Amino acid sequence: MLQQIYPSVQHPYAFELNKDFNFSSAHYIPYEEAGKCKNIHGHTYFINLTIAGNELDKMRFLVNFSELKSLIHKRYDHKLLNDFDEFKDNSPSTEQVAQTIYNIVQEALDRRANKPKCVQVFVRETPTSYVVYRPIKQGDNNA
């Protein structure tokens, strides 16, 4: 995989890990104004997860890298994203894919005793377009 520099996110944690992986999926955006994207088409999505925390687990990991990849890759690789319940009411735009990946990863992290946090999800859809999703902290309101 090509070495990539990702936007960094400020956080108060001692440890940060980043995991890169990819999956290939198809999707469509069911709106006329979506142009070509209203038709089924595929992408190889390149993902970077940024996980942070202060405590390591019994193996001295923040979280095992392979666990992070398996949460997403096994679920979405070579599938039509629109077929998943999480995208029934939310078109699988790159923004929505990034937020959904965050939700899946954070739900798994919440079950861990050391309670790491997913602080950033980077999703590259094409060589020239990507989305960064960072969860809003409680109390933050930029509206």
C-alpha dist (Å) from residue 48 to 9, 13, 74 = 13, 18, 16
Tell me what percent of the residues of the chain surpass a pLDDT of 70: 94
37 counts as catalytic: yes
Q: What is the pLDDT of residues 48-107, one digit of tens each?
A: 999 999 999 999 999 999 999 999 999 999 999 999 999 999 999 999 999 999 999 999
Write the DSSP symbol of residue 138. Answer: T
Look at the chain and count its residues. 143
Give the tokens for residue 52: 């942070």
118 counts as catalytic: no
Query: Strand, helix or coil at 95?
Result: helix
Closest among 133, 63, 65, 82 to 103, alpha carbons compared: 133
Q: What is the pLDDT of residues 37-62, one digit of tens each?
A: 999 999 999 999 999 999 999 999 99
Q: What pTM was estimated for this model as a whole?
A: 0.92
Query: Strand, helix or coil at 79?
Result: strand
73 counts as catalytic: no
Which of 41, 55, 78, 107 is an active site residue? Answer: 78
Q: Answer whether 38's CB lies under 8 Å from 30's CB.
A: yes
